[in-house]
């Protein structure tokens, strides 16, 4: 997918990508598949060759593909031109069980009570990618977004393949009702997706199911398509990380920095919800000896609570004091399913907005995490940073087309709230790109946070492995200022302008966007065919995938 912006070659913006090779060396080896700005000539020739490549192998080109969205928490599969996928499958614990051992093992306890007891995070815990489960509530704060490289090289990659195979077999034989060998597969791939994992998925599809080919598309492009536009800023709130990415004319735009990733995402929201419930006195019970014990809540019960009860204030903390909401506060009872010994959770409805607050809008130090953890920017700040890093024309095209996708993004009120705060940030700061970075560069620790008096404006990357890359980027930003010379004037103009152009538009989501594009016979560039894949010994050649 060409991301290339011709202005990189124009004199207006000297290419900030001069150090792309250096930057590459600082990235984790298994995350090779993204964000390498290339020169226009390179991508030009590349396009031609891959185009040719496609035509030489258009044996299956005319036949309708299937669209497969393989997420961390769900798999969606279906046919192009359809509104919704034929199936949405979750990674149920059954997929981790032996055949013939299926179903909860329920039998009578000595005390006669029937109970379902689960280890937290056991049996996959509803997520496909196991190494990421390091991001659990207690130890989660310091593990941050890990790179694809595991510390202990164990079976986990193979287990992932095994589980994925079971899920896909379900999709093919129960819902799609097709022969997997007959259909090409279109696969949306999120930005900075680990190559190792992509290889696993490709291997399952091509080697195990015998699909003719797999075509990769950036999922942000599908998200934009799902909104009925061609450009926009995609905020993908996933399970382990939130990715903010600009898309221009159906091409993902890699700005002057690495793809904007933050671990303020679904799993953190769930952890915060768990903390909220555990804090409550009512949710503690006395055992037979009168000792106070805290009840355990299953992850899937928490998932339900987050999906059904979670909401977000549309106005920030300053605005709540209007008093309009106070009298509306009322008690809300959450029965815990399948858990007879557990009491229902009685909670004030207003409190159910707190987990979202702490996940997306507050500095992370306010959580239980250790204080020395570097902070992730809040979601509005994260979006603002990404907008800042985008080429100015792309930014203009994105401002009124902000698109939220991902399961967690559907929390009611969240999108409005983000826009309100983003509006404030833009009004305060305009588009001053340089100053902030230069100041920050010399700051350390808590001093890095801007002295704006508001929570949630601290910014920087949390992941250690990105640090050096970031510093390099910052120094590049300075260079840009020197030569561009227009930023300050621009910022002043922006500041006086009302930021009214901000607008969130609804997207059908990544899968449906893919369905739309595939039905329009849009052809992908990155295609792996079965025979070629087998010849290469089931390895992906990602050398020319500069912009996926």
Does position 508 interact with other proteins (CB under 8 A)? The reply is yes
Does position 393 interact with other proteins (CB under 8 A)? The reply is yes
Q: What would the two tokens of residue 17 be?
A: 């990508």
Choice from 25, 39, 59, 109 touching other proteins (CB under 8 A): 109
Contact residues for 187 (Cβ-Cβ < 8 A; gap 6+): 67, 68, 69, 70, 201, 205, 214, 215, 216, 217
From residue 345, alpha-carbon distances to 277, 295, 300 in Å are 8, 11, 15
Question: Shortest Cβ distance from residue 24 to other proteins (Å)?
Answer: 23
Distance CA 348, CA 366 (A): 21
What is the total count of residues that contact other proteins (CB under 8 A)? 116
Does position 57 interact with other proteins (CB under 8 A)? The reply is no
Give the residue with the Cβ less far from other proteins, 155 or 279. 155
465-484 residues near other proteins, rule: CB under 8 A: none
Give the residue with the Cβ less far from other proteins, 361 or 508. 508
SS3 content of the chain, % helix, strand, coil (to 5): 45, 10, 45
Give the residue with the Cβ less far from other proteins, 275 or 304. 304
Helix spans in 390-506 (H): 392-399, 414-429, 434-442, 467-484, 487-496
Question: Shortest Cβ distance from residue 26 to other proteins (Å)?
Answer: 29
433-462 residues near other proteins, rule: CB under 8 A: none
Give the residue with the Cβ less far from other proteins, 201 or 258. 201
DSSP class of 94? G
239-298 residues near other proteins, rule: CB under 8 A: 249-250, 296
Give the residue with the Cβ less far from other proteins, 151 or 372. 151
Q: What would the two tokens of residue 66 be?
A: 């299937």
Give the residue with the Cβ less far from other proteins, 254 or 440. 254
362-391 residues near other proteins, rule: CB under 8 A: none
6-45 residues near other proteins, rule: CB under 8 A: 6-7, 9-12, 40, 43-44
Q: What would the two tokens of residue 484 be?
A: 């561009």
Distance CA 443, CA 441 (A): 6
Question: Shortest Cβ distance from residue 30 to other proteins (Å)?
Answer: 20
Does position 320 interact with other proteins (CB under 8 A)? The reply is no
Q: Longest Cα pair distance anywhere in the chain, in angstroms? A: 79
Only one of the segments 139-147, 184-192, 366-374, 410-418 lies at the binding site for other proteins (rule: CB under 8 A); that segment is 410-418
Choice from 28, 57, 90, 488 touching other proteins (CB under 8 A): 90
Distance CA 270, CA 126 (A): 13
From residue 97, alpha-carbon distances to 102, 124, 290, 437, 537 in Å are 6, 10, 37, 50, 30
Strand partners, 259: none
From residue 398, alpha-carbon distances to 250, 494, 511 in Å are 12, 15, 21
Give the residue with the Cβ less far from other proteins, 176 or 425. 176
Contact 431, 396 (CB under 8 A): no
Give the residue with the Cβ less far from other proteins, 206 or 466. 206
Distance CA 297, CA 282 (A): 14
153-192 residues near other proteins, rule: CB under 8 A: 154-156, 158-159, 162-163, 165-166, 169, 173-179, 181
For every residue of 133-157, DSSP letters joined together read GG--HHHHHHH-S--S--SS--THH
Distance CA 222, CA 522 (A): 11
Question: Shortest Cβ distance from residue 443 to other proteins (Å)?
Answer: 30
Choice from 17, 229, 280, 373 touching other proteins (CB under 8 A): 229
Give the residue with the Cβ less far from other proteins, 24 or 109. 109
Does position 318 interact with other proteins (CB under 8 A)? The reply is no
Q: How far is CA 175 from the centre of its chain?
A: 26
Choice from 59, 319, 343, 520 touching other proteins (CB under 8 A): 520
Question: Shortest Cβ distance from residue 234 to other proteins (Å)?
Answer: 14
Contact 540, 195 (CB under 8 A): yes
Only one of the segments 236-244, 375-383, 439-447, 515-523 lies at the binding site for other proteins (rule: CB under 8 A); that segment is 515-523
112-141 residues near other proteins, rule: CB under 8 A: 117-119, 122-123
As a dihedral over the C-alpha atoms of residue 90, residue 71, residue 386, residue 410, rounded to 10 degrees, the angle is: -20
Give the residue with the Cβ less far from other proteins, 12 or 439. 12
322-351 residues near other proteins, rule: CB under 8 A: 328, 330, 332-335, 349
């Amino acid at each position: 997918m060409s991301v290339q912006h011709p202005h990189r070659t124009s004199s207006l913006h000297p290419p900030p990508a001069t150090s792309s090779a250096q930057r590459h060396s600082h990235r984790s080896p298994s995350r090779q598949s993204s964000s390498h700005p290339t020169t226009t000539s390179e991508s030009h020739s590349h396009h031609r060759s891959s185009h040719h490549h496609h035509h030489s192998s258009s044996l299956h080109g005319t036949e309708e593909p299937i669209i497969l969205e393989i997420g961390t928490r769900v798999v969606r599969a279906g046919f192009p031109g359809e509104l919704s996928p034929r199936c949405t499958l979750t990674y149920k614990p059954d997929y981790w069980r032996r055949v013939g051992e299926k179903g909860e093992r329920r039998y009578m306890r000595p005390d006669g009570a029937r109970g379902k007891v689960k280890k937290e995070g056991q049996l996959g815990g509803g997520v496909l990618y196991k190494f990421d489960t390091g991001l659990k509530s207690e130890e989660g704060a310091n593990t941050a977004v890990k790179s694809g490289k595991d510390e202990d090289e164990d079976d986990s990659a193979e287990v992932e393949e095994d589980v994925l195979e079971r899920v896909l077999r379900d999709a093919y034989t129960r819902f799609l009702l097709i022969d997997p060998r007959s259909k090409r597969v279109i696969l949306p791939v999120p930005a900075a997706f680990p190559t190792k994992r992509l290889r696993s998925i490709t291997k399952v599809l091509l080697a195990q199911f015998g699909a003719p080919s797999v075509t990769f598309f950036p999922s942000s492009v599908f998200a934009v398509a799902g909104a009925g536009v061609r450009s926009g800023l995609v905020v993908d709130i996933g399970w382990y990380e939130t990715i903010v990415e600009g898309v221009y004319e159906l091409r993902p735009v890699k700005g002057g920095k690495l793809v904007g990733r933050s671990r303020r995402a679904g799993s953190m929201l769930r952890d915060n919800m768990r903390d909220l419930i555990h804090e409550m006195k009512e949710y503690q019970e006395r055992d037979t000896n009168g000792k106070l014990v805290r009840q355990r809540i299953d992850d899937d019960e928490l998932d339900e609570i987050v999906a059904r009860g979670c909401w977000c204030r549309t106005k920030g903390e300053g605005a709540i004091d209007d008093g309009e909401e106070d009298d509306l506060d009322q008690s809300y009872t959450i029965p815990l399913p399948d858990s007879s010994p557990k009491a229902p959770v009685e909670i004030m409805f207003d409190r159910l907005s707190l987990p979202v607050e702490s996940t997306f809008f507050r500095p992370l130090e306010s959580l239980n995490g250790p204080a020395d953890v570097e902070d992730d920017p809040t979601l509005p700040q994260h979006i603002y940073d990404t907008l800042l890093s985008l080429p100015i024309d792309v930014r203009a095209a994105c401002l009124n087309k902000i698109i939220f996708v991902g399961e967690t993004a559907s929390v009611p009120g969240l999108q409005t709230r983000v826009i309100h705060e983003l509006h404030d940030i833009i009004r305060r700061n305009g588009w001053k790109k340089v100053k902030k970075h230069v100041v920050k560069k010399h700051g350390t620790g808590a001093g890095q946070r801007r002295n704006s008096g508001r929570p949630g404006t601290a910014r920087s990357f949390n992941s250690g492995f990105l640090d050096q890359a970031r510093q390099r980027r910052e120094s590049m930003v300075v260079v840009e200022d020197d030569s561009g010379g227009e930023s300050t004037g621009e910022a002043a103009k922006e500041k006086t302008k009302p930021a009214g152009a901000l607008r969130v538009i609804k997207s059908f989501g990544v899968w449906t966007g893919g369905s739309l594009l595939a039905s329009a016979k849009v052809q992908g560039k990155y295609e792996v065919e079965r025979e070629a894949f087998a010849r290469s010994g089931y390895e992906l050649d990602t050398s020319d995938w500069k912009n996926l």
